[in-house]
Amino acid sequence: MRAIVLLGALVAAAGPAPAQTSTADGIAQYRALLADGNPAELWEAKGEALWKQPRGPKSASLEACDLGKGPGVVKGAFVELPRWFADTQRVQDLESRLLSCMQALQGFDAAAIAATPFGKGEQVNIEALVAYVSAASRGLRFNLPQSRAEERQMYEVGKRVFHFRAGPYDFACVSCHGEAGKRIRLQDLPNLTINPGDGVGFAAWPAYRVSSGELWGMQRRLNDCYRQQRFPYPGYASDATIALGVYMGVQAKGAQSSAPSIKR
Partner 1 sequence: MQTRREMMRRSAAVAALLGGAGVLPAQAQTAWNKGAFEAKGVEGVLKALGVAKPVESQDIVFTAPDIAENGAVVPIAVSTALPGVRRIAFLVEKNPTTLAGVFEFSDAVETGVGTRIKMGETSNVLAVAILGDGKVLYAQKEVKVTLGGCGG
Partner 2 sequence: MSDPMRIRAQVQGSGAIVRVLMSHEMETGLRKDAAGKTIPAWHITEVTAALNGKTVLSAQWGTAIAKNPFTQFTVKGAKAGDKITISWVDNHGDKRTDEATIA
Q: Are 174 and 182 in contact (CB under 8 A)?
A: no
Tell me the C-alpha distance between 87 and 144, whole Å.
18
Active site residue 173: no
Q: Which is nearer to partner 2, 43 or 78 (CB)?
A: 43
Tell me the C-alpha distance between 97 and 67, whole Å.
7
Which of 70, 86, 184, 232 is close enough to bind partner 1 by CB under 8 A? 184
What 3-state class would DSSP assign to 133? helix
| Residue 187 CB partners (closer than 8 Å, separation 6+) | 264
By CB under 8 A, tell whether 188 contacts partner 1.
yes
Which of 8, 26, 37, 121 is close enough to bind partner 2 by CB under 8 A? 37
Question: If we measure between CA atoms, which residue out of 154, 57, 63 comes closest to residue 112?
Answer: 57
Which of 27, 45, 124, 166 is close enough to bind partner 2 by CB under 8 A? 45
12 binds, among partner 1, partner 2, none (CB under 5 to 8 A by kind): none
The helix (H) or strand (E) run that includes residue 69 is: none
Which of 15, 57, 117, 213 is close enough to bind partner 2 by CB under 8 A? 213
Residue 50 DSSP class = H
Q: Taking the CB of residue 162, how many other CB atoms lie within 10 A of it?
A: 19
Q: Are 233 and 223 in contact (CB under 8 A)?
A: yes
By CB under 8 A, tell whether 187 contacts partner 1.
yes
By CB under 8 A, tell whether 115 contacts partner 1.
no
By CB under 8 A, tell whether 30 contacts partner 1.
yes
Cα Rg for the chain, rounded, in angstroms?
Answer: 19
By CB under 8 A, tell whether 204 contacts partner 1.
yes
Catalytic residues: 225
* Interface residue list for partner 2 (CB under 8 A): 1, 3-4, 36-37, 39, 41-42, 45-46, 210, 213
* Interface residue list for partner 1 (CB under 8 A): 3, 7, 10-11, 14, 17, 21, 23, 26-27, 29-31, 33-34, 45-46, 48-49, 52, 176, 183-189, 201, 204-205, 207, 210-213, 221, 228, 263-264
